[in-house]
């Protein structure tokens, strides 16, 4: 019995040193080799930090691209999804309210054209990206709000579309914050 107890204590101590000290030091060391030292890609405008490229933000004005809804109000300290089943009546009511709100701000878009990601929250609640299709369905609203050509906005979408890794892994995405920052810089 004592032999097992000492073995368990030794394993616990070795695991604590390995996973609480050595592993974090190794990861921190690798982080120092990447741009921004592992602190994320900061987006600045005129020397002022406006956000991090890896974290979604709430944009609700008609002159901006909207990102995915968040179940946690984009709170990075409380990353989470809604954890409600697709058949849950509360969840269905929330999605319908998002569809209704989207249609109020985008009246020329038929409900069938609204992408699922524009009305459903991501698993983390912090998704910073949308698909090119989700960006394109917002072009009319933004063009009218800013009084600029839809073609200019479509060109901006194309310029910001990130292709899948090696052309195979993952979907095409567009970072909403980076897109909106450049949209603000357009004349």
Domain that holds residue 20: 1-39
Distances (CA, A) of 90 to 18, 93, 97, 119, 137: 44, 5, 11, 14, 26
Domain shared by 47 and 139, yes or no = yes
Domain shared by 88 and 99, yes or no = yes
Domain shared by 59 and 116, yes or no = yes
71 closest CA partner among 58, 87, 60 = 58
Domain shared by 108 and 16, yes or no = no
Domain shared by 142 and 103, yes or no = yes
Q: Which residues contact 132 (CB under 8 A, 6 or more apart)?
A: 157, 158, 161, 172, 174
Domain count for the chain: 2
Q: CA-CA distance, 100 to 15, in Å (whole number)?
A: 52
Domain shared by 21 and 70, yes or no = no
Q: What is the tens place of the pLDDT at every residue in 87-143?
A: 889 999 999 999 999 999 999 899 999 999 999 988 887 889 999 999 999 999 999
Q: What is the tens place of the pLDDT at every residue in 127-159?
A: 899 999 999 999 999 999 999 999 999 999 999
Which tokens go with 26?
């190794």
Handedness of CA 94, 100, 117, 152 (dihedral sign): negative
Domain shared by 10 and 91, yes or no = no
Domain shared by 64 and 156, yes or no = yes
């Amino acid at each position: 019995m004592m032999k097992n107890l000492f073995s368990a204590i030794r394993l616990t101590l070795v695991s604590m040193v390995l996973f609480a000290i050595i592993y974090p030091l190794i990861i921190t060391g690798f982080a120092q080799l990447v741009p921004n030292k592992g602190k994320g890609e900061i987006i600045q405008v005129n020397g002022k930090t406006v956000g991090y490229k890896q974290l979604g933000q709430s944009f609700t004005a008609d002159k901006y691209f909207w990102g995915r809804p968040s179940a946690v109000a984009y709170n990075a300290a409380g990353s989470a999804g809604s954890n409600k089943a697709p058949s849950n009546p509360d969840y269905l009511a929330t999605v319908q309210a998002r569809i209704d709100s989207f249609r109020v701000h985008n009246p020329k878009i038929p409900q069938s054209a609204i992408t699922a990601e524009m009305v459903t929250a991501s698993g983390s609640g912090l998704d910073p990206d949308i698909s090119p299709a989700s960006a394109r369905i917002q072009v009319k609203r933004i063009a009218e709000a800013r009084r600029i050509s839809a073609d200019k906005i479509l060109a901006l979408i194309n310029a910001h579309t990130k292709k899948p890794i090696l052309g195979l892994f993952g979907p095409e995405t567009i970072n909403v914050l980076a897109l909106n920052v450049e949209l603000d810089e357009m004349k």
